[in-house]
Amino acid sequence: MKGLIANLLTPLVSTSDNLCTPSLASLLDYLYREDVLNLWVLGSAGEDFAIPMHIKSQIYRFFDESNLMFDNVLLGISTNNPSDEDLLLGCLSNYNSIHGFHFLCYDQKIGDYQYLKRVENLANKLEKPLYLYHNPKRGKPLNISIVKSLRNIPNIGGIKIGGYSFEQMKSFKDAAPQSWNLFCAGGGQIVDCLKIGFKAHSTSDANIFPRLFINIFSLLAEGHEDQARQLQDLACALSKMIPRNQNGEYSAEEKFVLYNRGTIRTDTVNPTYETLSESQKLLTSNVDQIYQRLFK
Domain range annotation of the chain: 3-295
CA distance 224 to 280: 35
Torsion angles phi and psi, residue 144, rounded to 5: -60, -40
CA distance 243 to 266: 19
- Average pLDDT of the segment spanning 3-8: 97
Q: What is the CA radius of gyration of the chain?
A: 18
pLDDT, tens digit, for every residue of 179-199?
Answer: 999 999 877 889 999 999 999
In three-state secondary structure terms, 230 is: helix
CB-based contact 27:207 (threshold 8 Å) = yes
3-295 to CATH, choices 3.90.1170.50, 3.90.230.10, 2.60.40.10, 3.20.20.70: 3.20.20.70
Residue 138: C-alpha distances to residues 41, 225, 281 (Å): 16, 32, 27
- Average pLDDT of the segment spanning 98-103: 97
CA distance 291 to 264: 18
In the prediction, which pLDDT does 113 show? 97
User: Is residue 163's pLDDT more than 80?
Assistant: no
**What does the CA dihedral 187, 189, 190, 193 come to, rounded to 10 degrees?**
-150
3-state secondary structure 256-290: HHHHHHCCCCCCCCCCCCCCCCHHHHHHHHHHHHH
- Average pLDDT of the segment spanning 149-162: 95
